[in-house]
Structure 1
Amino acid sequence: MPPSSLRVVYAFAREMHPKTSDVFIQYGTAGFRTKANLLEHVVYRMGLLAVIRSRVKNGRTIGIMITASHNLEPDNGVKLVDPDGEMLEQSWEEIATRLANVSDNDLESTTEQVIREVKADMSLKASVFIGMDTRYTSPRLAAAASNGVIALKGTPKELGIVTTPMLHFCVRCRNDNKYGTPTEEGYYEKIVGAFKNIRQKLPVFGEYNTTLYVDGANGVGGKKLNIIRKSLDGELDLNLYNLGGNGGKLNLNCGADFVKVSQKPPVGVEHVPFQRVASLDGDGDRLIYYFLDDKENMHLLDGDRIATLYASYITELLNTCEARDLKLGLVQTAYANGASTKYITEELKVPVTCVKTGVKHLHHAALAYDIGVYFEANGHGTVLYSQNAKNTIRKITLEGEPEQRKAAELLLNIIDITNETVGDAISDLFLVETILCARGENVRQWLAAYTDLPCRQLKVTVQDRNAISTTDAERQCTAPEGLQLKIDELVGKYANGRAFVRPSGTEDIVRVYAESDTQQEADKLAVEVSQAVFDLAGGVGNRPELPA
C-alpha cells in the first residue's frame, strides 16, 4: 500500500478519534482495559491492527471484542481474536501497545512501519468481525473500531451485542466452516442443540433436579440465556435473575467475579436452601456455581470444581470407551486451591500443569494433551480436543462394542456442547448440567468430592506494579529483594499455609492469595503478606487490612 493510501488513517484519527490523553496503556492478558473515556483512539487503532493482522493471515477473519468483562460499568476494553478463535498471538501484543500509544501525528508513519515489519500484503482483502457487550459506551467504541477497519480498506461486520465467547465462536466458524455457522443463531444451533440432544438420551434420576437459578450479572450472558430458555423444551428450567432491569448495574454486587472474590451471594437473587445457583460475569465468559445451606452458609463451586467435574466424567467415558491411548490432562494457575490439585493428581490420577495467570497461557498448555481441560479458579475455562482425540472417539462410535459406542456418542455430544475457542459461561453451564444429570448428583454430592482449603484474596495499591517480578508460574517472587523470603517466613507459621503475590495485568495493584487450614488463619496470612508487599513494594494509602 503506497504511503498516500495511509493518509486517511491520520484523517480519521484527527477528525473523529483523536488521542486526547497521554496516559500510557498496555495490551495485557485481557487486551486493553481502562476507563471508557480513555479508549476511543485505542479502539480505532485496533481496527487498523485487525486489518493488518487479517492480511498477514491471508485474508482470514479477525475478531474485535469491545468489553471490560467483570469490571464495573464505567470501564471498557478491547481485545483482538485470532483466526481460530484464540487470543491474539503474544508477539503482537507489543505491536498493539506501540500503535495505541503513538501521537496522532505519528500514527500514519507507525502504521506504515508495522505493515513493513510484519510483511502484510495490503492488496489482500481483509475481514473483521466486531462484537460488544451491554455497556452504554460500547456502541461508540464499536463504531471507532469499524472506522479503523474502513480506514485501511478492510470489511467490518458488526455482530452487535454478543457474549465474548460468541464472538470467538463466530470468528472460528468464519475461518473453518466445519466448526459451525458464524452467527449467533449458529452458536445456539450447535451448542444448545447438542445439549438438548444429549439430555434427551439421559434420564433424570437420583438427586439431580432440572431447576437452575442463574445470576446474569446484569450483562449480556443473562440476556442470551433468556433467549435460549424458550427453546430448551423442559430439559432445563432456568430461573434468571440480574438481567439488567430494575436499575441493576453491570457486575455491581453480582456476577461471577463478585461471588468468587467476596465469597458472598450476589444481590438480586432469591435463595432456596441447597438450590444450585450459577453466576455468570458481565460478558459471559466466566461461570461460578454456589449454594446456600439451611443455615445460610455459602458453599462455592468455582473453576477448580468445574474442572475436576469435567476431568472425572470425561475420564469415566474414556475408560468405558477403552480409549486408553488418549492422554487427558488438566491445566491450572497458582490460584487453584491446593486441595483441588491434590485431588486431581492423587484421586483422579490426572496430570496437572501449572501456568501463569491468563487464559492464553492455559489454552496453550492444554494443547499439549489429546484432551486438555483448563480452568482458572475464577471460572474461566473450557476443554480442548485434538483432532486425534476426535477421530479416535468417532471411530469407536462406528466400530466399538455397544457400551463403548454409547460412551463415545456421549463424548461426541459433549465435544459439540463445548466452545473450544475460549472459556464460555453458557457452554460451561450446559456441560455442568449434563454431567450432574448423567450422574444423578446434586450440588452437595458434587461438593463432597474434596474439601477446599480456606483461602483469601486481597489487593494492595502500589506506586508501580512493575516493581513486582515473579517466576515459577507466578508462585515465587523475584523482586523486590527480600519479599519472597518474608512470604516464606510468614507461610511457615501456618498449617497448610500457601501464599503468592503477582502484579495486576491492568492496574497498579498487587494481587495477594493465601490459603491455610482455617478461614481465620487464611485471612491473617493474607493480611500479613499484603502488609509485607505494602512495605517492600511501594504501597500507597493505608496499610492493608481485611475489608469490612
Structure 2
Amino acid sequence: MSVIRAKLRSRETGMTQFEKVSHFSGLHPKPAGLVLQYGTAGFRTNAKQLDHIMFRMGLLAALRSKNTKATIGVMVTASHNPEEDNGVKLVDPMGEMVTQAWEEYATLLANAEQEGLIMALQEVIEREAINMGQEASVFIGKDTRPSSESLSQAVLDGVSALGAHGHDYGLLTTPQLHFMVCCKNTEGRYGNASEDGYYKKLAQAFIQLTKHARNRTDDQKHLLVDGANGIGALALRKMEAFLQKEFQFSLFNDGSQGKLNFLCGADYVKVQQRPPQGVEMNAGERCCSFDGDADRIVYYFNDSAGRFHLLDGDKIATLISTYLKELLTQAGLDLQIAVVQTAYANGSSTRYLEDTMKVAVRCVKTGVKHLHHAAQEFDIGVYFEANGHGTVLFSKAAEERIQRLATDPNINDEKKNAACLLENTINLINQTVGDAISDMLLIEAVLAIRGLTVQQWNAIYTDLPNRQVADRRVIDTTDAERRATSPLGLQEAIDALVKKYQMSRAFVRPSGTEDVVRVYAEADSQESADALAHEVSVAVYKLAGGVGPEPEPLH
C-alpha cells in the first residue's frame, strides 16, 4: 500500500489520490445497504439515490480513460423514464457503449460500502494493470432533468479526484455526447468534437442528399415533432439555422410548459399506440416523437377516418435497408447488408425483409449493445429496436469502396450518382449510437428522394396487431429471449396458448431497465393479440409465483 500511495501522491495538495478519493467520497456518501446493477441502460433509478453513483462513475471513467489512453464519456440521463428519475451511462473511445467487463467494475464500485471503496478501486487498478500516472480525459453531458445539474457535478468530482481532466459540455442529447467522444478519439476524422460540429456535419449531408429530391413543396419539407419536453427539443431548435430551410418543422412539447416524458415522447406513443398530448395533428400529416434524451424516434399519422398509424423501429429499419439495397444495386456494389432485430420486431417486418426484399435478418437479445455488436459483423448493418432506437453501421472496408467509387472518373452517371448518395448517407448517420435527430433527417431524406408519402411508407407491409404488457416476476430465457427456460412448464403453457390464435406468437422476458417482466403477443387481430397477452400474463402469474391480484383482461 505504501508503494502505491507514493506513486499516487498529488503534487498540488500533498494528498495521495486515494486520500483525495476518500475525502470527496465523504461528500457523496453511499446509503448503507443500497444495491444497484449496471444494466443495458447503465444505472437508472430515483435521482435521490444516485449522488454516490455519479461520483463513483466519475472515478471509473477516469480509470477507463487511463486504461485506454483515450477520452471517455459520461452521460447523465434516464432517457424515457419519468422526470424524477435519473441515470448514468459510460461511453467508450469510439462512441460505443462501455465494454461488458467494465460494466462489472461499475457495479463493483457502485455497491462498495463507504469503507470499502478504496479497496474496490485498487481491485480495478490491479486487474487492469492501470498506469495511474497516465493522463486522462472525460467528456460529460446531461439532459434537462432538474437533478442533472448536481449529479453531473458529482461526476466531475469523481473525475478530478483521480487527477483526470473533465470537460463539461452541459446540456446535450445522449447521441451528441457519443458523437463528440468518437470525434475526439479519431482526431477529427469522424467530425468536429463540438455541438456546432455535430449540427454542421448532419445538416450538410442532409442538404446534399435532398438535392436529389425533385420539386419538393413546403408541405413535403414539413414535419410535426414531439420533443418529449426534453433535450432533443433544445437541440433541434439549435440545428434549425444549419438546415437552411431545407427542413421545416413545428415543435411540440418543447419543455417550456410540460413535464419530461409525461404523456408524450417515443416510449409513450409506442406503448400506448396513440398520439402524444399537446400535438395538433391534421389527417395525413407526418409526425414523429423523440424520447427524453433523443436517442429514440417513432413516426405516426392519423388517416382521414381518424385512425392512428404507428411507424416504429421495424418500419424505420425496413425503409432504410430498402433504400440502401437499391443504391447498392445501382452502384454495382456487392456489399452484404443485413437487418438486426430483437424478438419484439413485428413478424410482418421480418417476413417482408426476408421474403420480399431478400435481406438477411439476424435476431439477438434485447439491448442496444447486442444489436450494435451483431450489426458490426456485416458490410452494412441496420439495427433498430421496435421502440425506435437504432442506427446503421458501415464497415471501414465498405466506406472505402463507396468513397473510391464516388470519385472514380471512369464510371457511368448512374453508378456515380448512387455512390454519391451513399457517401452523403454515411455522413448523415450517427454510427456511434441510435440518434433521434440523425435518424429523423435520414428518414426525411429517404422519403424525399424516393418520393414517398408517410402513407405509402406505412403500406410497405401491414403490422400484425400486437400487445405488450409488464408484470413483476422473474423469468429465465434462451433463443434471443424468445423462449422461457424457467419456471418449468411456462414455455409449454405459452406454446399451447399460441396455438389457439391465427398468425400468433408470444414470449416473456425480464426487462433490462425496470424491475418487471415483459409479455409480448401478436396475432391476426387486435382482439386476439390482447386476449393472448392476457392469457400469457395469467400463465406467468400462476407458474412464476405471482404476488398481488391476478392480471386483469386488457381493454
TM-score range, shorter chain: over 0.9
Return the alpha-carbon distance in structure 1 between the equivalents of residues 554 and 494 of structure 2. 21
Asked if 1:158 is matched to 2:192, the reply is no
Q: 2:319 aligns with which of 309, 327, 348?
A: 309
Return the alpha-carbon distance in structure 2 between the equivalents of residues 540 and 180 of structure 1. 52
* Secondary structure class of the residue paired with 1:179: coil
Cα pair distance change 1:222/1:547, threshold 3 Å? farther
- Cα distance, 1:205 vs. partner? 5.0
Cα pair distance change 1:313/1:292, threshold 3 Å? same
Return the alpha-carbon distance in structure 1 between the equivalents of residues 239 and 550 of structure 2. 47
Return the alpha-carbon distance in structure 2 between the equivalents of residues 122 and 232 of structure 1. 45
Contact 1:370 1:388 in 2 (8 A): yes
Where does residue 5 of structure 1 map in the other structure?
17
Contact 1:217 1:255 in 2 (8 A): yes
Greater Cα offset, 514-523 or 394-403: 394-403
Return the alpha-carbon distance in structure 2 between the equivalents of residues 424 and 507 of structure 1. 22
- Cα distance, 1:20 vs. partner? 2.0
- Cα distance, 1:186 vs. partner? 0.6
Q: 2:204 aligns with which of 193, 208, 226?
A: 193
Q: 2:501 aligns with which of 470, 481, 494?
A: 494
Asked if 1:330 is matched to 2:339, the reply is yes
Where do 1:107-186 residues align within 5 Å? 107-176=117-186, 177-186=188-197
Contact 1:303 1:378 in 2 (8 A): yes
Where does residue 10 of structure 2 map in the other structure?
none
Return the alpha-carbon distance in structure 1 between the equivalents of residues 248 and 184 of structure 2. 32
Return the alpha-carbon distance in structure 2 between the equivalents of residues 533 and 542 of structure 1. 13
Q: Deviations over 1:1-52 (max 9, x none)?
A: 82343111111111x1011252210000000001100011011100010111
Where does residue 294 of structure 1 map in the other structure?
304
Contact 1:487 1:500 in 2 (8 A): yes
Q: 1:506 aligns with which of 500, 503, 513?
A: 513
Where does residue 461 of structure 2 map in the other structure?
450
Q: 2:241 aligns with which of 230, 238, 252?
A: 230
Return the alpha-carbon distance in structure 1 between the equivalents of residues 218 and 198 of structure 2. 30
- Cα distance, 1:506 vs. partner? 3.0
Cα pair distance change 1:207/1:51, threshold 3 Å? closer
Alignment-mate amino acid for residue 392 of structure 1: R
Return the alpha-carbon distance in structure 1 between the equivalents of residues 218 and 325 of structure 2. 22
Alignment-mate amino acid for residue 388 of structure 1: A
Where do 1:253-268 residues align within 5 Å? 253-268=263-278
Where do 1:3-152 residues align within 5 Å? 3=5, 4-14=16-26, 16-58=27-69, 60-152=70-162
Give the TM-score of the pair, scaled to structure 1: 0.97
Cα pair distance change 1:21/1:210, threshold 3 Å? farther
Give the TM-score of the pair, scaled to structure 2: 0.95
Alignment-mate amino acid for residue 482 of structure 2: R
Alignment-mate amino acid for residue 229 of structure 1: E
- Cα distance, 1:96 vs. partner? 0.7
Alignment-mate amino acid for residue 79 of structure 2: S
- Cα distance, 1:543 vs. partner? 1.8
Q: Deviations over 1:107-130 (max 9, x none)?
A: 011111111011111110000000
Cα pair distance change 1:136/1:169, threshold 3 Å? same
Where do 1:361-376 residues align within 5 Å? 361-376=370-385
Runs of 4+ in 1 over 3 A off after TM superposition: 204-208
Contact 1:474 1:502 in 2 (8 A): yes
Where does residue 468 of structure 1 map in the other structure?
475
Where does residue 550 of structure 2 map in the other structure?
543
Alignment-mate amino acid for residue 468 of structure 1: I
- Cα distance, 1:502 vs. partner? 0.6
Contact 1:455 1:514 in 2 (8 A): yes
Alignment-mate amino acid for residue 8 of structure 1: K
Contact 2:531 2:554 in 1 (8 A): no
Alignment-mate amino acid for residue 6 of structure 1: F
Where does residue 349 of structure 1 map in the other structure?
358
Asked if 1:245 is matched to 2:256, the reply is yes
Where does residue 487 of structure 2 map in the other structure?
480
User: RMSD of the alignment, in Å?
Assistant: 1.3
- Cα distance, 1:541 vs. partner? 2.4
Return the alpha-carbon distance in structure 1 between the equivalents of residues 250 and 262 of structure 2. 20
Return the alpha-carbon distance in structure 2 between the equivalents of residues 192 and 283 of structure 1. 20
Where do 1:359-438 residues align within 5 Å? 359-399=368-408, 400-438=411-449
Q: Deviations over 1:488-524 (max 9, x none)?
A: 1111111011011110123321011000000000001
- Cα distance, 1:542 vs. partner? 2.3
Return the alpha-carbon distance in structure 2 between the equivalents of residues 380 and 5 of structure 1. 39
Asked if 1:533 is matched to 2:540, the reply is yes
Contact 1:461 1:509 in 2 (8 A): yes
Return the alpha-carbon distance in structure 2 between the equivalents of residues 137 and 5 of structure 1. 28
Return the alpha-carbon distance in structure 1 between the equivalents of residues 527 and 554 of structure 2. 14
Q: Deviations over 1:262-309 (max 9, x none)?
A: 101100000100101011000000000000111211000000000000
Aligned residues: 540
Return the alpha-carbon distance in structure 2 between the equivalents of residues 11 and 541 of structure 1. 45
Alignment-mate amino acid for residue 438 of structure 2: S
Structure 1: tracts of 5 or more residues without a match: none
- Cα distance, 1:208 vs. partner? 7.5
Return the alpha-carbon distance in structure 2 between the equivalents of residues 220 and 314 of structure 1. 30
Cα pair distance change 1:341/1:154, threshold 3 Å? same
* Secondary structure class of the residue paired with 1:157: strand
Return the alpha-carbon distance in structure 2 between the equivalents of residues 376 and 402 of structure 1. 36
Alignment-mate amino acid for residue 26 of structure 1: Q
